[in-house]
């Protein structure tokens, strides 16, 4: 399954808002449609958002081959601004857009044809590098998984969320392919149900046993279901290891700590933001009240009741046992291990 593809000058992506009921692909050559797809979570998951945005920049520069230098600059700035305004939390979005901007800038003096060709190739590289990073995360992370393990995960971090097999789910899938007897407890991940709609769907397709629980059953599952470890993904990791991920992750981490169960984060280096010293500075997206107050077309809260709907929370680094990256497993103290990974205390 390809959650996103570049085909002859067009982007083709699986509309994740329709899963698991319908597998419908959308094809477009319009940057506005890509921006809207990111905003609406038709395309979602930090690494996939970055890949989609990279292809979005290419689409925004469709007319580049015939444009003048000034027009190229203007189109590039407008495209990058449109895409970075879609969702604020996932670092991968900003990382990918900046990578695309830098490549374009280096080529502008050579003309629009070169700019366009380099952008197509850079977006493809971002996509294929993500697939490779997932595979490496899977290989490193699977060393943590016992031969017989129940693993709890939150939200969706698989092929639907990345350009490859996934991050946290990539670890589960790799361990399964190695012949380990893994099963997954997936919480439903209210309000948008990435756990039940997407993770349970992906795991079933992989033939990995999965038990779906309501978010409210997470505590009792840690208490009674012999969980070996929790593994989640990340949208942005600060220089001290504080990790923004799907709302509810913080609660999962606290529960894991209480029950003495290791809690791991899995993410590629494109998710790290070493320019942010701790989680307090990570921008957290707040989404519409209707995602909470409505269940499909049905109202499940009193009309006009005030709703707080943060899409992400920040798990403090003290609750994290390790961070699995494509370059190995980082251990506490994360300020040191992250600085060593990036070779500097500066921005990633």
Q: Is 235 a catalytic residue?
A: yes
In angstroms, how far is CA 275 from the centroid of its own chain?
19
Q: For residues 104 and 232, which CB has a smaller minimum distance to ligand MRU in the complex?
A: 232
Q: For residues 47 and 138, which CB has a smaller minimum distance to ligand MRU in the complex?
A: 47
Which H helix or E strand runs over 151? strand 148-153
In this structure, the strands spanning 181-187 and 10-14 are: unpaired
Reduced to 3 states (helix: H, G, I; strand: E, B; else coil), residue 213 is strand
Q: How far is CA 311 from CA 74, 193, 247, 300, 308, in A?
A: 32, 12, 5, 19, 10
Q: Quote the least distance from Cβ 325 to ligand MRU, whole Å.
A: 12
Q: For residues 118 and 245, which CB has a smaller minimum distance to ligand MRU in the complex?
A: 245
Encoding tokens for residue 153?
């995960």
Residue from 235, 242, 273, 313 carrying the catalytic annotation: 235
Q: For residues 58 and 193, which CB has a smaller minimum distance to ligand MRU in the complex?
A: 193
Q: Which of 239, 266, 232, 238 is nearest to 136 (CA)?
A: 266
Q: Quote the least distance from Cβ 246 to ligand MRU, whole Å.
A: 3
Which H helix or E strand runs over 27? strand 25-28
Q: For residues 72 and 200, which CB has a smaller minimum distance to ligand MRU in the complex?
A: 200
Q: Quote the least distance from Cβ 41 to ligand MRU, whole Å.
A: 6
Q: Quote the least distance from Cβ 47 to ligand MRU, whole Å.
A: 5
Q: Quote the least distance from Cβ 148 to ligand MRU, whole Å.
A: 25
The span from the CA of 256 to the CA of 13, in Å, is: 35
Using alpha carbons only, what angle is made at residue 216 by residues 213 and 221, rounded to the nearest 5 degrees? 55
The answer to whether 164 and 268 are in contact (CB under 8 A) is: no
The span from the CA of 123 to the CA of 273, in Å, is: 21
Taking only Cα atoms into account, the Rg of the chain, rounded to an integer number of angstroms, comes to 20
Q: Quote the least distance from Cβ 157 to ligand MRU, whole Å.
A: 4
The span from the CA of 231 to the CA of 254, in Å, is: 13
Binding site for ligand MRU (CB under 6 A): 41, 44-47, 90, 155, 157, 161-162, 167, 194, 233-235, 245-246, 311
The span from the CA of 158 to the CA of 151, in Å, is: 14
Q: For residues 79 and 153, which CB has a smaller minimum distance to ligand MRU in the complex?
A: 153
Residue with CB nearest ligand MRU? 233
Active-site positions read: 235
């Amino acid at each position: 399954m390809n959650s996103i593809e570049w085909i002859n000058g067009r982007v083709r992506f699986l509309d994740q808002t329709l899963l698991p009921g319908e597998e419908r692909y959308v094809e477009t050559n319009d940057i506005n449609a890509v921006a809207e797809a990111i905003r609406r979570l038709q395309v979602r998951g930090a690494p996939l958002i970055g890949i989609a945005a990279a292809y979005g920049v290419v689409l925004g520069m469709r007319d580049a081959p015939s444009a003048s230098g000034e027009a190229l600059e203007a189109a590039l700035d407008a495209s990058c601004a449109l895409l970075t305004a879609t969702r604020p939390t996932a670092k991968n979005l900003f990382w990918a857009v900046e990578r695309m901007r830098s490549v374009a800038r280096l080529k502008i003096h050579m003309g629009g044809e070169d700019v366009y060709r380099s952008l197509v190739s850079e977006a493809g590289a971002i996509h294929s590098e993500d697939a490779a990073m997932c595979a490496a995360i899977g290989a490193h992370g699977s060393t943590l998984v016992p031969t017989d393990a129940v693993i709890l995960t939150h939200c969706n971090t698989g092929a639907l969320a990345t350009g490859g097999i996934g991050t946290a789910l990539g670890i589960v899938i790799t361990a399964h392919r190695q012949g380990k007897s893994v099963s997954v407890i997936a919480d439903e991940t209210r309000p948008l149900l990435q756990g039940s709609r997407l993770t349970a769907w992906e795991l079933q397709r992989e033939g990995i046993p999965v038990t779906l629980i309501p978010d409210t059953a997470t505590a009792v599952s840690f208490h009674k279901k012999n969980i070996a470890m929790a593994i989640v993904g990340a949208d942005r990791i600060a220089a001290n290891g504080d990790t923004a991920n799907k709302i509810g992750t913080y609660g999962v981490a606290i529960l894991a700590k209480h029950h003495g169960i290791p809690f791991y984060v899995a993410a590629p280096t494109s998710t790290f933001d070493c320019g942010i010293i701790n989680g307090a500075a990570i921008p957290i997206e707040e989404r519409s009240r209707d995602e909470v107050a409505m269940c499909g077309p049905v109202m499940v809260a009193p009309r006009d009741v005030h709703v707080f709907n943060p899409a992400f929370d920040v798990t403090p680094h003290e609750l994290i046992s390790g961070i699995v990256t494509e370059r190995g497993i980082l251990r506490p103290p994360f300020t040191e291990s992250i600085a060593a990974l990036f070779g500097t205390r500066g921005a990633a």
